[in-house]
């Protein structure tokens, strides 16, 4: 069983569309994250959720909205997609605590045309 799974793996869409990326973890973790990796390969944290509550919202346009229906899921909804949103998006989860490790999904490659 995949620990952290994201769907879809690839997403090609036109500018202006609204799209969602789903993430599920089966590890029983209470913290989940979304990261964006741009073309320069820099991994930037976007959001962090702990027990379904938002605890980090980095400087991210409000077109991006995370939704956590339960502890095992953290979905990312993006409105009015722009060319600059093209990137690989990674979901991750961890148990609370500074010494715990994070598990990452395989990523969703979003291409906006």
Partner 1 sequence: DAKTTQPNSMESNEEEPVHLPCNHSTISGTDYIHWYRQLPSQGPEYVIHGLTSNVNNRMASLAIAEDRKSSTLILHRATLRDAAVYYCILRYTGNQFYFGTGTSLTVIP
Per-residue binding letters, 13-32, with partner 1 (x by CB under 8 A): ------------------x-
Rounded to whole angstroms, the Cα distance separating 83 from 103 reads: 28
Interface residue with partner 1 among 22, 72, 107, 111 (CB under 8 A) is 107
Query: 100: which residues sit within 8 A by CB, 6+ positions away?
Result: 94
Give the single-character DSSP code of 23: E
* Contacting partner 1 within 44-63 (CB under 8 A): 44-45, 48, 50, 55-56
Query: 25: which residues sit within 8 A by CB, 6+ positions away?
Result: 3, 4, 5, 32, 72, 73, 91, 93, 103
Rounded to whole angstroms, the Cα distance separating 59 from 66 reads: 14
Should residue 104 be labelled a site residue for partner 1 when binding is judged by CB under 8 A?
A: yes
Select from 18-26, 67-75, 77-85, 89-97 the region that touches partner 1 (CB under 8 A).
89-97
Interface size with partner 1, residues (CB under 8 A): 27
Residues at the contact surface with partner 1, assessed by CB under 8 A: 4, 31, 33, 35, 41-45, 48, 50, 55-56, 90, 92, 94, 96-99, 101-107
């Amino acid at each position: 069983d995949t620990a952290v799974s994201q769907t879809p793996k690839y997403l090609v869409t036109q500018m202006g569309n609204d799209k969602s990326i789903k993430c599920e973890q089966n590890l029983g973790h209470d913290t989940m994250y979304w990261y964006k990796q741009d073309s320069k390969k820099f991994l930037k944290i976007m959001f962090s959720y702990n027990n379904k509550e938002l605890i980090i919202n980095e400087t991210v346009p409000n077109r991006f909205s995370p939704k956590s229906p339960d502890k095992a899921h953290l979905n990312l909804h993006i409105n009015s997609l722009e060319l600059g949103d093209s990137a690989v998006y990674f979901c991750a989860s961890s148990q609370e605590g500074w010494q715990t490790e994070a598990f990452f999904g395989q990523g969703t490659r979003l291409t906006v045309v």
